[in-house]
């Protein structure tokens, strides 16, 4: 029994996460489908038709095709914020849900990784729904466009794991989360080349895109969705950067969970 | 004495959907009196208090405070009220002294008056050294003392105390009772809710016993004990499995008995004499205790339940 | 006190100043990052969208059909949106939190204050904050050369009017809200309003039926009013948008007053 918990503990916590999420199904659904759909219709269709009327294309494709994969990535990556800040604080402090399992054979690091696995399933659901919407809107020309789904999951994890690692170190919530939302997530979203090519920004603002997981993810998703041209090494950089952020964030988080729950 | 009551409640009711929290209670409180509402948690005491303060709309009945309906004249009624709620609701964004001053400002008092008054209240609450700390840094007991001091900032004529000593250590409780007694001597009317019988006995001239939103009995502590209990109580423990078995034998030895899960209570005028009879009857309790009757016994008699479950 | 008319006597004590004083002390001790951050959001949008999308879109037709730069097109809309966001946050989430978690209003209402003192005080505080942001944003867009008329100064009082309309309605709505999920619904109404109310592109791209729906929503009127003022294109329509917000503010005040007991005395 104990042996099995040691091996699969992370999955148990992921299951717990999904059970809790079920109670907020409406909020989750609205976030998962409503928000990206709104951005898609507003920007892709609304703003897009303004550009179409002028005959403007971006990257050789219509504006809708250009923004759709990036919206898919960016909205999921934004939902990583709430999942890795307030939820983590609730686990340690507000509801202390972490302390129950920490008293069992489960290792706290399994709670940390289990949390990420649980959210990953949510991202997967969210991205798949959006991919269907993209296809319905005729916004995913390539047969490989479904690969944007794993890209989205990876990007959201890369965005979330470092926040989880940070949130786990906090004893109380002052203004930290609002600060992250307004000064990190928001600029990363707006300056990550979601709604325009990053290269059209002045060079002194482009660095915000380079460090933003959303930009790396969007570029990969665009490659999958319509075949965005980029040197192969840059694609390797995208993947390595995203995977690296996730693993680094996750490892730091796991360490903090151990320190906090086993002290 | 033919002065008018300061608080007059007639058939007061409060319903939340299907649930009736207060079910038609009536009482008068005279000026300078110390009046108690005794009952377990959930009896409707706090609800009644909030209706008196006009911060909760009643579902039925009449209520006047100094002749005014608190729902129609909330601000005017509360101007003379000091409210100490069951749960501390201090302003966490402000510091200790600012909590007192700001609260006084809500009554329209001047800053210069409040500067002195807050100093006096800080001393009263033994928080002078904490004056410039943030409220969230205070311990539970300090917060309680600050809440109580805050309720006095407008020199109220009527003080509403909802479970005032919950969370205070025994010494702080006695200090508070002493302060309240002095306020009463100055003519302040006290309304106290409590589920501690010793508090009710210490503080209240007169009280009502409330259960499930209704009044079960009314009178002074001594009157209530005389009416609903005997002078003394003999508490016996036979071990949990034997308590039931000895009931029949014990019943003949006392005026009345109550069987609780862990002990048997024998109501009698003379506890020692009854204990004698118990041993003579060949019963051997594991422990025995003779004490005076208390309001706890009154409550048990009236409701069949203890105050603290 | 005796000057307060009878039906309001149970609700209002005329001590609004104390509520404002408390707000001021709380702001002074609050984390300044939060206060500044409220101003940052529209600025980021202006920079990112104005530069990035602006490069794609080029000039667009402003009020009266005169072409203006994309940044000049969205700047007044972003000011209107931030006035809405701030006012709704202050009158819903913030009020809900102070009511149910901080228990601040419970403490205030134990005193000689009435619910109307508290409600008015919160609205005035929200407006003061909005005023601060509006002035800062105004200075920014003037500095960037995005406001081309002296009429643009009127965007500051216009932002207050928009904020008052949303705050008065928002507080009334809060009286119906029972839990945090209820607050989420407000957020889900704010996002589409922002995305579709002619903020980032003209609504003419949509079919007529959808256009009429958007035109019934308050933010569209706020955006149009601001845009007219920013270039000094003042017409009957400008006054119409203004009238919309005056009516909305009055309706909100009536609703909030009628719901005051339900909001605070529960």
pLDDT in tens, chain B (309 residues): 457 899 999 999 999 888 989 999 999 999 999 999 988 888 888 899 999 988 888 899 999 999 999 888 888 999 999 999 988 899 988 999 999 999 999 999 999 999 999 999 999 888 999 999 988 888 888 899 999 999 999 999 999 999 988 878 888 888 888 888 888 999 999 999 988 888 888 889 999 999 888 999 999 998 999 888 888 888 888 876 777 777 777 778 788 888 887 888 889 888 888 888 888 887 888 888 988 988 888 888 888 777 665
What is the model's pLDDT at position A1? Answer: 52
Helix/strand/coil (H/E/C) assignment for every residue in chain A: CHHHHHHHHHHHHHHHHHHHHHHCHHHHHHHHHHHHHHHHHHHHHHHHHHHHHHCCCECCECHHHHHHHHHHHHHHHHHHHHHHCHHHHHHHHHCCCCHHHHCCCCCHHHHHHHHHHHHHHHHHHHHHHHHHHHHHCCCCCCCCHHHHHHHHHHHHHHHHHHHHHHHCCCCCCCCHHHHHHHHHHHHHHHCCCCCCCHHHCCHHHHHHHHHCHHHHHHHHHHHHHHCCCCCHHHHHHHHHHHHHHHHHHHHHHHHHHHHHHCC
* Cα(C44)–Cα(C50) distance, integer angstroms: 9
* Cβ contact B192:B37 at 8 Å: yes
What is the model's pLDDT at position A144? Answer: 92
How far apart are the CA of C129 and the nearest CA of chain A, in angstroms?
17
Across C21-47, average pLDDT: 83
Q: Looking at chain B, which residue has its C-alpha nearest residue C13?
A: B75
**B–C interface: beta-carbon pairs under 8 A:** 92
How far apart are the CA of A186 and the nearest CA of chain C, in angstroms?
8
Per-residue pLDDT of C145-202, as tens digits, reads 888 888 989 999 999 999 999 999 999 999 888 877 778 788 888 889 999 999 999 9
* Cβ contact C152:C234 at 8 Å: no
Helices (H) and strands (E) in chain C, counts: 12, 2
A200 touches chain C (CB under 8 A): yes
B192 sits in which H/E element: strand B189-194
How far apart are the CA of C55 and the nearest CA of chain A, in angstroms?
7
- pLDDT band at residue A151 under the 50/70/90 scheme: very high
How far apart are the CA of A99 and the nearest CA of chain C, in angstroms?
24
Q: Looking at chain C, which residue has its C-alpha nearest residue A174?
A: C31
Taking an 8 Å cut-off on Cβ atoms, the answer to whether A195 and C49 are in contact is: yes
* Cα(B157)–Cα(B183) distance, integer angstroms: 10
Quick one: DSSP state of residue B2?
-
How far apart are the CA of B40 and the nearest CA of chain C, in angstroms?
22
What is the model's pLDDT at position A97? Answer: 75
How far apart are the CA of B51 and the nearest CA of chain C, in angstroms?
10
What is the model's pLDDT at position B197? Answer: 82
Paired tokens of A226:
């319509």
Distant-in-sequence, close-in-space partners of C262: CB < 8 Å, separation ≥ 6: C175
Chain A contacts of C206, Cβ < 8 Å? 46
Q: Looking at chain B, which residue has its C-alpha nearest residue C105?
A: B89
| Strand arrangement, sheet containing B264-268 | B256-259, B264-268, B232-237, B287-292
B93, B155, B191: best to mutate for the C interface, most C CBs within 10 A = B93
Distance between start and end Cα atoms, chain A? 25
How far apart are the CA of B193 and the nearest CA of chain C, in angstroms?
17
What is the model's pLDDT at position C56? Answer: 87
Which of A34, A179, A191 lies at the smallest CB-CB distance from C48?
Answer: A191
Which of C48, C188, C205 lies at the smallest CB-CB distance from A46?
Answer: C205
The closest of B235, B233, B238 to B284, measured between CA atoms, is B238
* Cα(A83)–Cα(A212) distance, integer angstroms: 18
What is the model's pLDDT at position A24? Answer: 67
Distance between start and end Cα atoms, chain B? 40
* Cα(C83)–Cα(C99) distance, integer angstroms: 23
A178, A181, A187, A192 alpha-carbon torsion, rounded to 10° = 180
A20 vs C82, which has greater pLDDT?
A: C82
Taking an 8 Å cut-off on Cβ atoms, the answer to whether C195 and A182 are in contact is: no
How far apart are the CA of C10 and the nearest CA of chain A, in angstroms?
37
Taking an 8 Å cut-off on Cβ atoms, the answer to whether C9 and B57 are in contact is: no
Taking an 8 Å cut-off on Cβ atoms, the answer to whether C10 and B74 are in contact is: yes
Taking an 8 Å cut-off on Cβ atoms, the answer to whether A27 and C184 are in contact is: yes
Q: Looking at chain C, which residue has its C-alpha nearest residue B92?
A: C102
Per-residue pLDDT of A240-253, as tens digits, reads 999 999 999 999 99
Give the ipTM.
0.82
Taking an 8 Å cut-off on Cβ atoms, the answer to whether C111 and B107 are in contact is: yes
What is the model's pLDDT at position C2? Answer: 45
Chain B contacts of C102, Cβ < 8 Å? 92
C15, C107, C111, C265: best to mutate for the B interface, most B CBs within 10 A = C111
Per-residue pLDDT of B237-263, as tens digits, reads 887 677 777 777 777 878 888 888 788
Which of B79, B81, B89 lies at the smallest CB-CB distance from C106?
Answer: B89
Taking an 8 Å cut-off on Cβ atoms, the answer to whether C181 and A63 are in contact is: no
Task: Please indicate, yes or no, whether the overall pTM of this predicted structure exceeds 0.80.
Answer: yes
B17, B54, B56, B75: best to mutate for the C interface, most C CBs within 10 A = B75
C258 touches chain B (CB under 8 A): no
What residues pair up with B287 in beta bridges, in sequence order?
B237
Taking an 8 Å cut-off on Cβ atoms, the answer to whether C112 and B75 are in contact is: yes
A187 touches chain C (CB under 8 A): yes
What residues pair up with A58 in beta bridges, in sequence order?
A61
Taking an 8 Å cut-off on Cβ atoms, the answer to whether C113 and B73 are in contact is: no
**Residue holding tokens 């809500």?**
B106
- In the predicted model, is pLDDT for residue A215 greater than 70? yes
Sign for the pseudo-dihedral over CA of C178, C183, C185, C186 = positive
């Amino acid at each position: 029994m104990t042996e099995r918990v040691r091996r699969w503990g992370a999955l148990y916590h992921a299951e717990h996460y999904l059970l809790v999420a079920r109670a907020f199904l409406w909020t989750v659904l609205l976030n998962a489908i409503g928000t990206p759909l709104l951005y898609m219709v507003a920007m892709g269709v609304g703003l897009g038709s303004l550009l179409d009327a002028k005959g403007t294309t971006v990257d050789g494709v219509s504006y809708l095709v250009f923004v759709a994969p990036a919206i898919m990535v960016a909205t999921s990556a934004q939902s990583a914020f709430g999942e890795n800040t307030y939820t983590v604080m609730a686990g340690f402090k507000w509801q202390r849900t972490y302390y129950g399992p920490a008293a069992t054979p489960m290792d706290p690091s399994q709670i940390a990784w289990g949390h990420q696995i649980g959210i990953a399933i949510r991202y997967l659901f969210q991205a798949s729904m959006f991919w269907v919407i993209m296809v319905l809107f005729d916004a995913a020309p390539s047969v490989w466009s479904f690969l944007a789904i794993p890209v989205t999951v990876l990007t959201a994890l890369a965005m979330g794991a470092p926040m989880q690692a940070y949130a786990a170190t906090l004893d109380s919530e002052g203004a930290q989360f609002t600060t992250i939302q307004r000064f990190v997530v928001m600029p990363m979203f707006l300056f990550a080349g979601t709604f325009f090519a990053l290269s059209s920004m002045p060079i002194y603002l482009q660095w915000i895109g380079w460090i933003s997981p959303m930009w790396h993810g969007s570029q990969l998703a665009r490659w999958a969705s319509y075949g965005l041209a980029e040197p192969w090494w840059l694609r390797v950089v995208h993947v390595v950067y995203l995977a690296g952020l996730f693993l680094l964030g996750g490892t730091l988080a796991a360490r903090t969970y151990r320190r906090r729950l086993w002290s | 004495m033919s002065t008018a009551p300061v608080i007059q409640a007639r058939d007061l009711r409060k319903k939340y959907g299907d649930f009736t929290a207060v079910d038609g209670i009536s009482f008068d409180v005279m000026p300078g009196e110390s009046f108690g509402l005794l009952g377990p948690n959930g009896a409707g005491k706090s609800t009644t208090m909030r209706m008196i303060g006009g911060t909760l709309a009643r579902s039925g009945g009449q209520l006047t405070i100094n002749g005014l309906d608190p729902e129609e004249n909330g601000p005017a009624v509360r101007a003379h009220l000091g409210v100490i709620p069951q749960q501390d609701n201090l302003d966490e964004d402000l510091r200790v002294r600012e909590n007192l001053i700001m609260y006084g400002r809500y009554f329209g008092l001047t800053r210069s008056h409040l500067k002195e008054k807050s100093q006096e209240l800080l001393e009263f609450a033994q928080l002078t050294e904490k004056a410039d700390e943030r409220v969230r840094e205070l311990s539970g007991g300090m917060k309680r003392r600050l809440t109580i001091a805050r309720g006095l900032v407008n020199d109220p004529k009527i003080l509403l105390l909802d479970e005032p000593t919950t969370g205070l250590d025994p010494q702080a409780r006695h200090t508070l009772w002493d302060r309240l007694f002095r306020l009463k001597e100055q003519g302040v009317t006290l309304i106290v809710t409590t589920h501690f019988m010793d508090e009710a006995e210490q503080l209240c001239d007169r009280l009502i016993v409330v259960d499930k939103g209704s009044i079960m009995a009314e009178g002074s502590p001594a009157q209530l004990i005389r009416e609903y209990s005997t002078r003394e109580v003999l508490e016996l423990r036979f071990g949990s499995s034997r308590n039931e078995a000895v009931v029949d034998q014990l019943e003949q030895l006392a005026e009345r008995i109550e069987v609780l899960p862990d002990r048997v209570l024998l109501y009698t005028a003379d506890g020692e004499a009854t204990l004698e009879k118990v041993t003579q009857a060949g019963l051997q309790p594991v422990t025995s205790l003779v004490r005076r009757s208390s309001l706890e016994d009154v409550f048990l008699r009236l409701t069949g339940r203890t105050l603290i479950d | 006190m005796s000057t307060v008319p009878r039906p309001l006597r149970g609700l209002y004590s005329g001590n609004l100043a104390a509520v404002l004083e408390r707000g001021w002390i709380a702001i002074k001790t609050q984390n300044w990052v939060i206060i500044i951050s409220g101003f940052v959001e529209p600025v980021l949008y202006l920079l990112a969208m104005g530069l990035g999308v602006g490069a794609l879109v080029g000039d667009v037709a402003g009020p009266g059909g005169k072409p203006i730069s994309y940044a000049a097109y969205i700047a007044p809309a972003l000011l209107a949106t931030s006035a809405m966001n701030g006012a709704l946050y202050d009158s819903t989430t913030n009020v809900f939190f102070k009511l149910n978690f901080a228990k601040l209003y419970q403490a205030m209402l134990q005193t000689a204050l009435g619910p109307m003192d508290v409600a008015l005080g919160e609205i005035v505080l929200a407006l003061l904050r909005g005023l601060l942001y509006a002035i800062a944003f105004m200075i920014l867009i003037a500095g960037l050369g995005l406001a081309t008329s002296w009429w643009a100064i009127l965007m500051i009082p216009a932002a207050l009017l928009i904020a008052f309309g949303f705050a008065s309605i928002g507080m009334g709505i809060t009286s119906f809200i029972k839990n945090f999920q209820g607050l989420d619904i407000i957020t889900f109404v704010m996002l589409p309003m922002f995305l579709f109310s002619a903020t980032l592109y003209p609504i003419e791209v949509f079919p007529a039926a959808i256009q009429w729906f958007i035109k019934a929503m308050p933010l569209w009127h706020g955006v149009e009013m601001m845009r007219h003022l920013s270039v000094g294109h003042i017409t009957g329509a400008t006054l119409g948008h203004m009238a919309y917000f005056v009516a909305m503010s009055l309706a909100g005040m009536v609703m909030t007053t009628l719901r005051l007991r339900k909001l605070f005395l529960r």
